[in-house]
Amino acid sequence: MRNTLPLYLDLFIATFAVFVTVSRVAVIKRGQGRHFTVVIAFFVAADVVKVGPINDVLAELVDGRLVRVAAQVLTVAAAVGAVAAVRHATRMMRSRMAALTPWIGLGVVAAALVVLDASAGSRNLPIEAAAPVLSVAYFAIYSASIVFCDGYALVVVGRAYARGMRRGGVTSAGIVALGLFLATGLNSISLLWYAIASSDGHIGTAERVQRDSNGNVYAIFTLVISVLGLLGTFRYARRKTAVSKEWEKSVAGLPPLWEFLTSVAPEVRLMSTAGLSREARLIRMIAECIDASVVLGRDIRDVVPGSTSWRPTHHTPTPEQVLGVARSWCAVS
């Protein structure tokens, strides 16, 4: 389980992954991105546990088997995080219990792995050598939980696409789930294969190479998912900046739009907004712009500076439409 990569590469991957996780926590505070941050955080924690010197210290403090169990529980947690991300993206979390169910399942799996590992005889030997039969049960639970989570996530994404729900968040969650299956799902199955081969006494070169390279493959995938996480952080920050600029234009253009509409339909104007807070004034202006559009029976989308042609309508504008029109009045403010 211990990584055997060159120490400089091992430490670089762990440090970079921690940096990406902290950056995402600081920048992305809401929405779909939070769940992806949780997935990355679990991957980072599992990879840090496997870093050579850190793994050696932890093995001295407790024992190597317990450290291995901790890393594998964190890997299952990453798969559970992918389920949470998919359920959030497809709007399946309609209750607190629905949101907690995957994490309750994680607790059950973690307890089962800890009990099986504790029952597997000598702590000085890997579980495959200490108790071959128990090791098969251990890795059957481990691989089944990861494959189930990843498979469930992919099925949910597939159903969302079949229903025409193809928002960016659904696509991102699907990519994460597929990546986890290719990296951790297939890897967990290979560990089960090794445990079965060990119990039969038929461990060949392929099985040994697979087991010895397990930590290194995980580290490389941690690097890949961290790079994707960093790119996602840049994209989120750029989109947030663009939204902030659009909001500033709307806020700047709302007063002249409001002045114009309430001068044409003065009956919608209520008491003075002088004593109100900034947020309350904005809400009042938006509401009165909507009322003016309804009273006048004209489409608010035609209310642009210098326009005298308004289409009649019975449609009540939304606050978003008011703010969209207000952006065109920004230069008038």
CATH of the domain at 109: 1.20.1070
Question: Please, are residues 286 and 322 in contact by the beta-carbon 8 Å criterion?
Answer: yes
Say whether both 98 and 238 belong to one domain.
yes
Say whether both 144 and 290 belong to one domain.
no
Residue 37 located in a structural domain = yes
User: pLDDT category, 107, cuts 50, 70, 90?
Assistant: very high
Cβ–Cβ contacts within 10 Å for residue 289, how many? Answer: 27
Nearest to 264 by CA among 296, 290, 300: 296
- What pLDDT does 108 receive? 92
Residue 168 located in a structural domain = yes
pLDDT in tens, 118-128: 888 777 887 87
Say whether both 108 and 252 belong to one domain.
no
Domain extent for 144 = 7-242
Last residue of a domain, one of 196, 218, 242: 242
Our count of domains for the chain comes to 2
Last residue of a domain, one of 189, 220, 242: 242
Can you tell me the distance from the alpha carbon of 303 to that of 331, in angstroms, rounded to the nearest whole number? Answer: 14
Say whether both 294 and 188 belong to one domain.
no
Mark out the alpha helices in the chain (DSSP H runs): 7-27, 32-50, 52-61, 64-89, 96-118, 127-130, 132-162, 168-180, 186-200, 205-212, 214-264, 278-296, 319-328
Say whether both 13 and 159 belong to one domain.
yes
Say whether both 195 and 263 belong to one domain.
no
Out of 53-57, 124-128, 199-203, 315-319, which region has the weakest mean confidence (pLDDT)?
Answer: 199-203
pLDDT in tens, 226-265: 888 888 888 888 877 777 777 777 788 888 888 888 888 8
Can you tell me the distance from the alpha carbon of 114 to that of 95, in angstroms, rounded to the nearest whole number? Answer: 30
- What pLDDT does 285 receive? 87
Residue 2 located in a structural domain = no
Query: Following DSSP, what letter does each residue of 237-251 receive, concatenated?
Result: HHHHHHHHHHHHHHH
Say whether both 93 and 51 belong to one domain.
yes
Last residue of a domain, one of 192, 207, 242: 242
Say whether both 158 and 267 belong to one domain.
no
Residue 28 located in a structural domain = yes
